[in-house]
Structure 1
Amino acid sequence: MAESNPETAEVSGRKKDILCQPCLNKDNQTTKVAEKFCSTCDEFQCLDCSNVHYTHAFLRNHKLVNANEAKTKQGSFDMKGLDQCDQHREIVKFFCEDENQLCCSTCAIADHRKCHSVVEILKVAGRSTYRSSTLKVKLEEVREKANIIVNSFVSSKEKLDEDAKEIPVKIRRMRDEVMAMFAELEISVVKDIKLFQKETLEKLTIKQSQNEKYLADITKLLETIDNVYQNGSLVQQFIVEQKLKNDVNVLHKNVDAECQGLETVTVTFDFDETLKLPPLPVTDYVPGQLTLSFCLSEVAQTIVPVNKAMILSPVNSIDIKQKDDDEEEPLYTGIDFLPDGRLVAVDNKNKKFLVYDEKLEKVGSYQLSYYPYSVVAVSEDEVAITSSGALKLNILHVNKSNGITLDRTVKVTTEYDAICQKDDTYFVGGTSDHSTPIRMISSKGEEKDFSINFPNKSYPLGTSACTYIRSSDKVVLTDRYDHTVYIYDVKTNTRVVVKDDQIKEPRGVTVGPYDTILVCSIRTNSIVQISQTGQILSSNKIDMIYPRTICVSSDKSYLAIKNACIGKRKLKKFKILY
């Protein structure tokens, strides 16, 4: 049963002769007229039923008044026409169970003569054992949806305005970036040109010098040949021809090679063909596109929540028994799934951290130096562990081969019972014997409080647990001995209080499929599924005594439970079905 204001209570019924409600609940054929009203029991009672207040000691402090006085107070409530028949404008006094319809006296006679069950409203109202209307739960759900829709429209309008303003800024920024890019391009190209020019000029100078030497040698040889043919004898001319033949051949070969490899060196710079230049329109050669789109908002997932009742199908089960290296019978106070499907657990009694595969076969173990209490998977290969009595969080590394090492220790100032992950930076921790029941802890040990008006109550170790719903920014707190589950909305600083006969000593809690809440009910040996508005969706009996620790796999398809019954401790894994 969910309520937003648990202090509000109303007494039903509008009849001159008020009947005894305990008699009505017993379906007593001789129901008597009520003469007393107990404000503690919130019931009208006959003298026989009210006399139990004097025979039982624990009922003697209840407040009894005459029924007439209570009736007068009740009648002061203005029904504003809700108690009138829409057709005849008379006060409704009857209820037709055949047609599920309220009736005035005229309706009962004229329209429901053939119906078999037309009864007085007070008798029907007296059968109900619930003090909270289901209409309230539905209206709370509708209000939450309507608020989400309105906030979504406001957010969408603000986002549209921001986007419209950002586009000209983005274009100007792009223009500046392009100009900066061209400035950098100019510097880079000029630098490359100078380097290329220097290297090329050095090569050209060397080649030029070599060929100038060839010219000088050729000129000298030509002078010698001219002189000998002008002034020398035939013998002298023959000798010169023979002597210079080899030198001329070498020069001819070298110069011919230079001529074959002769090239002109130039340097140019051109844009790639993909960059089009004016006179084309700017939209043709400047990259960019204006996109108008409509997309489903992330909050739309919470506008129409899927509140399906789950069914648990057993997969594996193992008995937790004392082994040779255990000093005591193991007590797993914390369990969680790694993203790859392996299950991790902490044994409080034997100071151990354990790893199980998908078949619940133990594949890894690590001895701790302290008494662990809760564990949460941080990433693919990291877990965080709280300690009982020690002000610290230990971060362990678990590799794919189930090797376990201590990564780091985070010091804190508060003792934490439960722990879960809020986001990439913070954990959510349930405190032990602290004025604030739930706090945030960063990965570096920074601690801070939620902006929530929690009741002034501290919880000893083992009497509460907590979890966090990331999609809706809500924290959930269980109160074991008050048999209550609290759902706090961080954004609005409001809460939903969940009380129901199916929830007895709620302990472990986690976020299940579709962001519903799964709670271990110790005294009913069951797992209760609750919507975020406080509606009980399902209650699954578990074949184990005192279930107290629960976790769900990252894909929300498997669930694991550990109990705390001495000598009968088990670890069970279930497939979540619908």
Structure 2
Amino acid sequence: MAESGSISSAKISSGDAVSGRKEEILCQPCSRQDLQTTADVFCPDCDEFQCNACSKAHTVYAFMKNHKLVNATEVKSKPTSVDMKGMDNCEQHSKFLKFFCEDEKQLCCSTCAIVDHRKCHSVVEVQKIAGKSRPARSQLQKILEDVKSKSERIVNHTDSSKEQLSKDIKATFVEIKKMRADMNKMFDDLEAYVTRETDLFQTEVTNKLSKKRSSNEKHIADATKSLEIVDTVLENGTPSQQFIIEETLKKQVNELCKYVENECQQLQVATVSFRFDERLKLPPLPISDYVPGKLTLNYTLPETKKSVAPVVPQFKLTKITSIDLKQTGDDVGEPLYIGLDFLPDGRLVVVDNQNEKCVIYNEKLQTVGSYQLSYAPQSIVAISEEEVAITRGYHKIDFLRVSKSNDITLNRTCEVTTQYASICLKDDRHFVVGTLDNTIHFRIVSMSGEEKDFSISFPDKKYSVGTSACTYIRNTEKMILTDSHEHTVYIYDVASNTKVVVKDGQIKEPRGVAVGPSDCILVCSKGTNSIVQISQTGLILSSIKLDMNYPYRICVSKDKSVLAVTNSSKVKKKLQLFKLTGCM
């Protein structure tokens, strides 16, 4: 790579301040011999400006005969190469990035294209799409310049903030030193006052307690003596003796019992406390008027940029609308919505396992679109504003386009090696899917069909259709798995390979699961006809009863403001929407 400094060494400016003079390009080989000779040609292979004499070397040496010389006056500046800092190399295979996968929006080398993107439909060469519809000044440059400008403003703000903070701290200690003498005297007087008053009170209370203790020690002795007599007579005495002792001690015992009971009712606890008043007044005022000060350490933001208060973990549901799910003319039976999810614009997409359909609802739960499938679907997830993915259970995942006008078309089908049921997004390029009849209970699948496992230890058991569901919490990398047979919810921490087991009387036959506000966990409890809210640490936050039997599947809108739930009852199947609002 040519150094930028060699360009300036090949040129000098004759008469820098004289108009009409042109910049002169010097021969670089001559310049190294302290000679100033005008360059006549430029050799791209040698990367040099040369005079005619020096350029004759190209006719002398065989290895230079193919060099193409150009007129020096036609070269405005010596060509320079760009150091890409390794960004044009594949991190995995250390090869040049020559291709771009338009399906997954990812650069790739030749190996990536063959190995990782062989199932993708559009992998093109970079040089064929580079520069197409690119503005002169790219959006990337604008963003970086904006980031730089704002970062510089932040740096300046931090410097001024630190300076102001130092000034404030120094001023605070100056004020403290001014008040220290008066404050010390105030607390010395206060200690003397409290000592005097508490000593008097302690003496008075001690005398009362001593008298009470002495009196009740006598009661203990009397009761013990009488008990010994009663025990002896009841064990060894005749019935006559037992009657006599009963009648003789009855009055005495009743009086003693009444006295002791009265004492118990009047037990008192002596306490001492001291609380400062709300305002501080310094000496020479009376001690009763002394008041402490207050130190406040606080961050503040401009009024227009105040931070949003944290969302309260618990919430309440307010029903928006509800519909009964009934068999229509072309259905083979009553609908069974086995999967549902919200599109970013608020429309609800569902898959009907019974009638092999994909249906779209608007915010009023009015049917606005439908698509007939050729198989019984298992679950559905919204990938983007106009695309959804459906698990088929038979080693395939379908990708469907859902247009703004509610038309549904099949984009592509991705083949996989495992049977999958529930599905959710892990990130922009991968799913988390729940398995069927497999001891690995959930896996990661890329949108091109590549499969891999989490580093998690699973119990040796398998789940059949409808007996479990899973979801993923992106922010904390936690996997949630329901087990309807064990009445259990498992919370797996992917990072630490640990799990929390949640068992509670409020959770019976858990089915569908979703991530709610503040990343809480929402579970359909079929056996209690309710939605149970669980924290990520396994704490039961609330249980909300529903007016439907056997809640089965649940999902939450992208902005966490609306919840949809459906059931699996053989009669009165429903689909309901609720407004999610926080509460204490």
**TM-score (norm: length of structure 1):** 0.49
User: Max radius of gyration: which structure?
Assistant: 1
Q: Which has the higher contact order (CA 8 A, sep 6+)?
A: 1
Q: TM-score, normalising length from structure 2? A: 0.48
